[in-house]
């Protein structure tokens, strides 16, 4: 099954401009018929918290995944509370033991 989604990255200047101060009408046009929106490096986008809130409030049929390499910075950028409208997952780095359990110790030593 192929997922139907839009992927945006805050590393791109045009994405930052599009999502930084967007209205609900602009977001509807930007997202189109996609039901899943992924925003990577969301902490780089100005007013991303408000953009997420508008998206969730005015487009209830979509899901948004906002990620960032700096969780602390992303949390600080999202000033909107989004109470009852968000789930947070913290993904921690894999340990060497976990990688060995998955790939095998010999392969992990070779990769090091």
Summarised one tens digit per residue, pLDDT across range 18-47 is 999 999 999 999 999 999 999 999 989 988
Domain ranges of the chain: 5-111
Decide which of 93 and 32 is more confident.
32
- Residue-level pLDDT at 85: 65
Question: Strand ranges (DSSP E) for 1-112?
Answer: 5-9, 36-40, 63-66
47: left (phi over 0), alpha (psi -120 to 50) or beta: left
- Which of residues 77 and 103 earns the better pLDDT score? 103
Average pLDDT over residues 55-61: 91
Q: Which among 53, 43, 54 has a CA at the least distance from the CA of 77?
A: 43
Question: pLDDT tens digits, residue range 62-80?
Answer: 999 988 876 555 565 565 6
């Amino acid at each position: 099954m192929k997922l139907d989604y839009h992927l945006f990255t805050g590393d791109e200047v045009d994405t930052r401009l599009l999502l930084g101060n967007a209205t609900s009408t602009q977001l509807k046009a930007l997202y189109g018929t996609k039901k899943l929106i992924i925003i990577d490096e969301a902490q780089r986008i100005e007013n991303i918290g408000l953009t997420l809130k508008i998206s969730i409030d005015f487009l209830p049929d979509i899901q948004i995944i906002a990620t960032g390499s700096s969780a602390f910075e992303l949390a600080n950028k999202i000033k909107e509370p989004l109470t009852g409208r968000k789930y947070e997952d913290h993904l921690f780095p894999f340990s060497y033991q976990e990688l060995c359990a998955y790939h095998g110790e010999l392969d992990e030593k070779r990769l090091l």
